[in-house]
Structure formats: structure tokens, C-alpha cells
Amino acid sequence: MPSRDLLKILLLSNATSEQTPDLERISESAVQDEVAAVEKALSGLGYQTEQAAIRQVSELQEALARYAPDLVFNLCEGMDGNSALESHIASLLELLKIPFTGSNSLTLALARNKNLAKKILRSSGILTPNWICCREIPTSLPENLHFPLICKPACEDASLGIPANAVARDFPTLIRILENLLPKFAAEGVLIEEFISGREFNVALLPEASGIYALPPSEIDFSGLKPGIEAIVSYSAKWLEDDELYRNTPSYCPGNLAPALKQGLQQSALAVHQALEANSYGRVDIRVDEQGRIFVLEYNPNPDITPGAGFSKALQADKISYPEFVQKVLQEAQRRQNKDPQC
């Protein structure tokens, strides 16, 4: 691997798709904020950089041929609006033996398929809410699935497809929610999952030379929500800055946590990371019920790392600068290349 001042890094991202509805473009285009932040950090660290925002495989091939990077900083979350292709991009880089940052293709594919990921978590002894995955409206529910229930796409991220009214407390309401979701998401399925009333946390994970390190947990504060509004992070609460739900669901890091709870959250996050064979930075979303039981909701590989996002708040809480974080991610990619000749 060349020295830092000679190392050429390609910042790879997904260009906004013309097919994406306007509302969903907000989350899709947010990746460019990540690109700007990472490029600034890389430049300050002395690396050579070039950007490529792609919609097609041919555009990725052209960028790789034109720039011949020593390493790809992979911020691509899909292609042409299709998040299912996120893991394919990592697979192509693996086949070409080009080192890249972020999660490997297997973890990206597993984490996106929440139904499969939850099966792996449960088989690994990790507590996750009871659920079923459906592609059509059910006529009844299993005996072990109890209201309230939350509905969400089985194979999307960034809270896409999660409306503010995603929680059902009776069967007729569940049917109405599914009637809205299934026309768009039936192909890959919709999760019907027990809704865990309680506190919501996320734990950011950072690669270190000695292994993966759990940063201080962040907590979502739902106390500002009006009565009758469900305490969930819907798409509006996550992305629409002018929305009341966004303003009333801030996150805090570090949270005011008892030492035992903090340790439990971090240990659960590390167990998820291992179960899904992850290798780089990520985020684990967690609910804690009134009995103090820790339920893992999902794993987010390559999460949003823009300054101000939850991951960056966790870095700040642990007194890790943004350039230092970027350097750690690069080092993990280089270690992976040296360890595995297949990259």
C-alpha cells in the first residue's frame, strides 16, 4: 500500500435516482453530505481523493478504470434508487480485489433483509421482538404475536416506509396499515413485529486495531411528542427537519444511563456485530422495555456518518474527532486487505 501522501482514494456514492419519489429523495441525497464531510477529513489527513456518484455498474467500472484507486471509501447505498444493490457494489469490489471501507457484502445483504437477520439474531441467543414477515394481508396472527404491533418494510433502511401511524393496537388497524404498505413493499415483504414500549437507544460501533469498539449509547427522547403519537422514529421523524415529529424526537449522547444498562446495551451491540459477521463501523438499534429487557431491533451497516447524525454524536461523546474516525475506518480497510488476499 502506498504511503499516505501517494494513496489515491475514490469516494464512491450513489447518485440520486430520477425514479425516486420527491419525499424519499431527502434520505437518498443525504449521502452527498457524507461525501463532503469525508472528503474534507481525507484532505486534511493528506490523502488524494476523487469522487464518483453512480447510478449504473458501468459508471462504477469507468470510475475505477479512470482513477485506478488504491482504496475506495464506500458510501454507496444502492444504485438508481434500489437499495438491494448496495451489497452488490461491495461484492464487485471484492471480486476486483480493491480494498474498500465499510461492511463486507455478506453483512450488507444480511442486515438489509431484516427477516433473515432477526432469525440469525434469535439463533445466536440475542433477544429480538417476536415477528412475522408477510407478503399479503394475513387472516389471523400466530398465538405468540401480541399487540401492539409495528409494521415496516422487511428490506429497507433509513426508516423508509415507516409512517407515523405504523403501530397497530388492534387487528382492524393492522389491516389498514398493511393495505397502505403492501402495494409498495409486498415483493420483499413487510414485517409485523411486536412493538416494545419503552426507551429506544442506538449503539455505534467503531473498528479498532484490537477489534470492534462500542461507543457510548445514544437515546431517542420521545418526551416531547403529543399524547396519542406513537414513540417511534418514523421517516418524517428521521428526515423532515421542518416536521413536528423531527423536532420532538431528538437524540442525546451520552444518555443518562445506569452503568449496568450501558454495559448491557454495548454488549448486545457487539453480539449483533459478531452474529452478522460484520467487520467495520455500524449502528445497532435497540429498545428496552419496562422490565429492563434489551431487545435488538436491527443492525445498520455503513450508517449515516454526516456531522450531526447520531453516529457523529457518539464519536463526540467519546472524544473522537471526525478525521480520527475516518482514519480508523481506512486502517480497518487496509488491515482487511493485508489479512485476506481476496479483500
- CA-CA distance, 334 to 99, in Å (whole number)? 7
* Residue 18, all three cell numbers: 430520477
Within the chain, where are the H helices? Answer: 22-29, 31-45, 57-67, 86-95, 105-112, 114-123, 171-185, 235-239, 244-247, 259-275, 310-317, 322-339
> Has residue 87 been placed in a domain?
yes
Position 197 pLDDT exceeds 90: yes
CA distance 123 to 23: 37
- Residue 297 in grid coordinates: 431491533
pLDDT digit string (tens) for 226-237? 998 888 887 776
90 HSE (CA, 13 A, CB side): 24
CATH number for the domain that contains residue 46:
3.40.50
| In-domain check, residue 32 | yes
pLDDT at 21: 64
Q: Is the pLDDT of residue 175 over 90?
A: yes
pLDDT interval class at 241 (50, 70, 90): confident
Position 117 in a domain: no
Q: Judge whether 190 lies within some domain.
A: no
Instruction: Give the chain's length.
Output: 343
Asked if residue 234 is part of any domain, the answer here is no
Separation in Å, CA 61 to CA 57, 74, 86, 170, 274: 6, 14, 15, 50, 32
Nearest alpha-carbon partner for 101 in 325, 338, 312, 334:
334
Average pLDDT over residues 136-153: 96
Residue 128, domain member (yes or no): no
CA 38 to CA 41: how far, in whole Å?
5
Kindly report the pTM of this predicted structure. 0.93
**Looking at residues 87-92, what average pLDDT do you find?**
97
Query: Quick count: other Cβ atoms within 10 Å of Cβ 118?
Result: 23
d(CA 160, CA 226): 23
Name the residue among 78, 153, 134 with its Cα closest to residue 109: 78
pLDDT bin (cut points 50, 70, 90) of residue 341 is: very low
Q: Is 50 exceeded by the pLDDT of residue 342? A: no
Q: Which region among 80-84, 93-97, 135-139, 323-327 has the lowest average model confidence (pLDDT)?
A: 80-84
Confidence of residue 219 (pLDDT cuts 50, 70, 90): very high
- What strand order describes the sheet that includes 8-14? 48-54, 8-14, 71-74
Confidence of residue 178 (pLDDT cuts 50, 70, 90): very high
Name, in order, each residue with C-beta under 8 angstroms of 58's C-beta and a sequence gap of 6 or more. none
**pLDDT score of 209 more than 70:** yes
pLDDT reported for residue 108: 98
Residues near 276 by beta carbon (within 8 Å), at least 6 away in sequence:
107, 110, 111, 117, 120, 121, 299, 301
Cβ-contact 294, 271 below 8 angstroms:
no
In a domain, 65, yes or no: yes
Is 98 within the bounds of a domain?
yes
Count of the separate structural domains present in the chain:
1
By the 8 A CB rule, do 280 and 102 touch?
Answer: yes
- Cα 335 from Cα 337, distance rounded (Å): 5
What is the phi/psi pair of residue 328, to 5°? -65, -40
Structural domain of residue 50, as residue ranges?
Answer: 8-103
The type of residue at 135 is R
Residue 26's pLDDT is 67
Beta strands 48-54; 8-14: pairing state: parallel
Average pLDDT score over residue span 104-132: 98
Q: What are the tens digits of pLDDT across the range 258-273?
A: 999 999 999 999 999 9
**Does residue 25 carry a pLDDT above 90?**
no
Cell 416531547 locates to 224
